[in-house]
Amino acid sequence: MIQARRFVFLSLALVVFVSVILTGSPLPRLRVSLPPVMGCLPIAFANGWDMFAQNGLDVEVVGLSDNQARTLALMAGDIDGMICDVSTAILLVTSGTDIVITSTAYQPTQTGSLALLTQSYFGIGSIDDLLECTEPGNTLKSIAITEMSDIEYELDTLLTGLGYTVDPNKDYSYWHDMLQLSMFLSLGSVYAAVLPEPYITYLSKYPPIKPGSKLVHLSDFAGIDLLPSVVVFRRDVVEESPDLIAKFYDTYREAIDRVNGMSREELTTTGIDIALDLFFPGLTEDVVPEGILDDFAIPHFSSPALLDRGKFESVVAWERKKGYAWKQPVYEDVITDEFIK
């Protein structure tokens, strides 16, 4: 009898022990950071809709609107991966950070996704007018852009293609935070800025500081081959936990299919708070300028793909010419197709 009781007790103890392990064991975790850009929406939605957790993965989304802070977090190992632009990914490699570009994240449409903007009260009606107004060391009289970014690459491409000689010290002011940059343009603190969606729509609806003024589009970058955003992970994470990255991509693709299949009304109902938190941290729906939710366009997202070799090498050449990078990264050493096959 005593032996039987011991057997029952040990059996119950084993069941309880196993149950604690199974229920208390945390899901495997990935820490990723998303900039406030369109390409991040599917991952932000997947996280907000608990899709990662449902697929057995704990994805901690670290919100950092400052590009420099996000890059430093990856370099320090505080995050495992992030979405960034091609320029940032290459700069990470050339600065000695061992990362892998695992796929593209979002390919913007070639018109309407990026714009060179100014306020009407500055009286600047063309790029000619703008470049005649810029002054060295004067932030107000400059074109505000994110530093060492695809936006700078695309603006350089636009201006040189139009026959202008770019003088960054005279023409540009450099920023790290897209939201801050857009607010400075809205307040008239810079003559012009280059911004992507959704900031173009946001500023077009934002109450002007001068009654009757409006946002002026100096260029929509027509004819410029815009670069995609990319997904990068630290190489040690890719090599040590490829199954986690694969599961991340399975959920990522599932989220893309779900977003693409939803109506505008469904997305507005179920995803607007997630989108606002991504693009405008701290804002709630009730303080968003009237009309922006009607005009805010959710694009069709394509599946993650391999970054084009030509675009990679073009950005490398541009960074070396600008003096931003001195090394020559090899495409095959940085790119993998392991998670998009």
Q: Are residues 50 and 86 in the same domain?
A: yes
Q: Are residues 179 and 89 in the same domain?
A: no
State the DSSP code for 223: T
Arithmetic mean of pLDDT over the chain: 86
Q: Are residues 147 and 202 in the same domain?
A: yes
**What pLDDT is recorded for position 110?**
58
Beta bridge partners, 30, equal 59
CATH code at 145? Answer: 3.40.190.10
Q: Which residue among 219, 244, 269 closes a domain? A: 219
18 within a domain of the structure (yes/no): no
Q: Are residues 35 and 129 in the same domain?
A: no
Lowest mean pLDDT, pick from 87-91, 107-111, 242-246, 272-276: 107-111
Q: Which residue among 172, 198, 219 closes a domain? A: 219
121 within a domain of the structure (yes/no): yes
pLDDT digits (tens, 9 = 90+) for 182-197: 889 999 999 999 999 8
Structural domain boundaries enclosing 243: 29-107+228-334
Question: Mapping DSSP to helix (H, G, I), strand (E, B) and coil, where does residue 88 land?
Answer: helix
Return the ∠ at Cα 21 (arms to 20 and 22), rounded to 5°: 95
% of residues, the chain, pLDDT over 70: 87
Q: What's the average model confidence in pLDDT over 48-52?
A: 95
Name the band, by pLDDT with cuts 50, 70 and 90, for residue 295: low
Rounded (10°) CA dihedral 266, 268, 269, 271: 100
15 within a domain of the structure (yes/no): no
Q: Are residues 272 and 311 in the same domain?
A: yes
% of residues, the chain, pLDDT over 90: 63
**What pLDDT is recorded for position 285?**
62
Dist CA 159 CA 165 (whole Å): 7
**What pLDDT is recorded for position 11?**
40
Phi, psi at 200, each rounded to 5°: -60, -50
Q: Work out how many domains the chain is built from and give that number.
A: 2
Nearest to 103 by CA among 301, 262, 275, 294: 301
Q: Are residues 171 and 34 in the same domain?
A: no
Tokens at residue 322, please? 């600008």
7 within a domain of the structure (yes/no): no
Q: What's the average model confidence in pLDDT over 240-246?
A: 95
24 within a domain of the structure (yes/no): no
Q: Which helix (H) or strand (E) holds 340?
A: none
Q: Which residue among 167, 197, 219 closes a domain? A: 219
16 within a domain of the structure (yes/no): no
Q: Is the pLDDT of residue 104 over 70?
A: yes
Q: Are residues 215 and 191 in the same domain?
A: yes
Dist CA 183 CA 144 (whole Å): 11
Q: Are residues 42 and 90 in the same domain?
A: yes
Q: Which residue has the higher pLDDT, 294 or 85?
A: 85
Q: Is the pLDDT of residue 17 over 50?
A: no
341 within a domain of the structure (yes/no): no
Q: Are residues 99 and 169 in the same domain?
A: no
pLDDT digits (tens, 9 = 90+) for 124-175: 999 999 999 999 999 999 999 999 999 999 999 999 999 999 999 999 999 9
Handedness of CA 119, 124, 125, 128 (dihedral sign): negative
Q: Are residues 241 and 161 in the same domain?
A: no
Name the band, by pLDDT with cuts 50, 70 and 90, for residue 288: low
Side-chain-side CA neighbours of 81 within 13 Å: the count stands at: 25
How far does CA 189 lie from the centroid of its chain? 24
Distance from the first to the final alpha carbon of the chain = 61
Q: Are residues 102 and 236 in the same domain?
A: yes
**What pLDDT is recorded for position 7?**
35
Name the band, by pLDDT with cuts 50, 70 and 90, for residue 21: very low
DSSP string computed for 2-42: HHHHHHHHHHHHHHHHHHHHHHHSPPPEEEEEE-SSGGGHH
Q: Are residues 128 and 263 in the same domain?
A: no
Are 278 and 41 a contacting pair, CB within 8 Å?
yes
**What pLDDT is recorded for position 193?**
97
Residue corresponding to tokens 């199954």: 243
Lowest mean pLDDT, pick from 7-16, 22-31, 88-97, 158-167: 7-16
Q: Using CB atoms within 10 Å of the CB of residue 50, give its burial: 0 to 12 exposed, 13 to 18 middle, 19+ buried.
A: exposed
156 within a domain of the structure (yes/no): yes
Q: What's the average model confidence in pLDDT over 65-87?
A: 91
